Amino acid sequence: GIFRFALGDIDYKSSNNDGPYQNYVCTQWTLLERGASYDVTITTGIYNNEGARVYIDYDDDGDFEPGEVVVSFPENKDGTRTLSFVTPTSGVTLGKGLRMRVLSRYNNIPANACDIGTYAQAEDYTVYFADDKYLDITGLRLQGAMPASGATMRTDINSLIPTTDPYGLGVSTSLVPAAAVDWVKVELRSGAGPGTATTVEAATAALLLEDGAVNAVNGDKVNFSSIPDGNYYVAIKHRNHLGVITDVPIALTSGTLSLDMSSVTLWTDPAVTTNTPATTVNGVRALWGGDANENGKVTYNGGTNDREAVLAQLAFNIVNEDLTYQSEDVNLNGKTTYNGGTNDRESILQILGFSIIGERVAHLP
């Protein structure tokens, strides 16, 4: 009979005297990925020849079919044996517990999933296939956090970054990593083209690191496991920088897709003639900064301009300063100021090319 079975997170020891059938589906389970290789280890008796076979009901139809045989262990007295298998890339039910059956049989490999005759034993377990779709975003930079030289962003506001995202998505972390620059919002959008891609199919908040990488709060890549495979435009937003969107949709399927924001082609809105989708700082691409009032454009004068937003945050006192986490801190140095060295008013003016009538507009539908 079966003494031990191991696959993934399952490593369960049982007794060959437990009876012909044991059901562990509610207590022993593991998570698998499609198209991945796994080792299966089984321990059977050493006094008689015993064969073994493992099935997974991949399509969740209630039957263990010949095509759902995972591994077959030849009959022998070796006791503990290990074989490898590769999970299918398609035809697998995702996000649901699937039954896995392990059988041993005296002097033969079990002929089928119900072959538990004399001196045979069967055990059932559960496997899940997660539909993980990882987006490995790199090369994202914020103009406000760029240093005087080089491409490694400043982390001046690191101690001020809240543990819950500022976009109302409810993403939170117990600890903000020391290399975090700020929260960003990542959206997957659909539409006939980038200019009409206004339907947000999925969105999440993630932490932008000083090297331009975007990580989920668990330190892994951004994961969109809840949406179906498909082609999506990727939009990146920051609370006081102008958002961007990819010019072409990306094919997102199970696995990991790399997206380098320093080189990917961004959509250019033909209606925007004042600026490109992103700027260049120290030779690298960066999102335009200066959007203190978060309205998708940067202005110094006129209605709802960003200079006055900074002043309003300071209670209209030009000598005040605010040392809290605020969108009006456009240069991301940890304080909102209107006058003095490295103040936010002058940062806005610099972003506008020192033109008080200048404007920067987000290329984002």
- State the DSSP string of 280-300: EETTEEEB----TT-SSEEES
Q: What CATH code would you report for 2-129?
A: 2.60.40
Q: Per-residue pLDDT averaged across 189-209, rounded?
A: 98
For residue 31, which of 53, 4, 7 has the smallest C-alpha distance?
7
Q: What is the pLDDT of residue 16?
A: 65
CB 33 within 8 A of CB 129: yes
pLDDT-derived band at 96 (thresholds 50, 70, 90) equals confident
CB 214 within 8 A of CB 140: yes
Q: How does pLDDT run across 9-46, given as a tens digit for each residue? A: 999 998 766 568 999 999 999 999 888 899 999 999 88
CB 154 within 8 A of CB 117: no
Q: What is the pLDDT of residue 90?
A: 87
Q: What is the pLDDT of residue 94?
A: 85
Alpha-carbon gap, residue 103 to 30, rounded angstroms: 18
Assigned token pair, 268: 């250019």
Residue with tokens 């590769």: 86
Between helices 306-313 and 344-351, what is the axis angle to 10°? Answer: 170
Q: What is the pLDDT of residue 17?
A: 65
Q: How does pLDDT run across 72-91, given as a tens digit for each residue? A: 999 999 889 999 999 998 89
Q: Per-residue pLDDT averaged across 176-196, rounded?
A: 98
Q: How does pLDDT run across 274-322, given as a tens digit for each residue? A: 999 999 999 999 999 999 999 999 999 999 999 999 999 999 999 999 9
Query: Does residue 176 register a pLDDT over 70?
Result: yes
pLDDT-derived band at 272 (thresholds 50, 70, 90) equals very high
For residue 85, which of 102, 106, 71, 100 has the smallest C-alpha distance?
71
CB 268 within 8 A of CB 277: yes
CB 38 within 8 A of CB 7: yes
Pairwise pLDDT comparison (133 vs 261), residue with the higher score? 261
For residue 112, which of 67, 70, 75, 64 has the smallest C-alpha distance?
64
Q: Per-residue pLDDT averaged across 122-134, rounded?
A: 91
Q: Per-residue pLDDT averaged across 209-234, rounded?
A: 94
b/e per residue 207-221 (b: at least 16 CB within 10 A): bbbbebbbbbbeeeb
Domain boundaries, the chain: 2-129, 133-361
Percentage, residues of the chain above pLDDT 90? 86
Q: What is the pLDDT of residue 14?
A: 87
Q: What is the pLDDT of residue 45?
A: 83
Query: What separation, in Å, do the N-terminal and C-terminal C-alpha atoms of the chain show?
Result: 63
For residue 40, which of 76, 74, 72 has the smallest C-alpha distance?
72
Q: How does pLDDT run across 259-271, given as a tens digit for each residue? A: 999 999 999 999 9
Residue with tokens 């990146």: 236
Q: Per-residue pLDDT averaged across 94-113, rounded?
A: 92
Assigned token pair, 29: 């389970």
Q: What is the pLDDT of residue 218?
A: 93
Alpha-carbon gap, residue 304 to 327, rounded angstroms: 14
Percentage, residues of the chain above pLDDT 70? 99
Around Cβ 257, how many Cβ atoms within 10 Å? 17
pTM above 0.95, yes or no: no
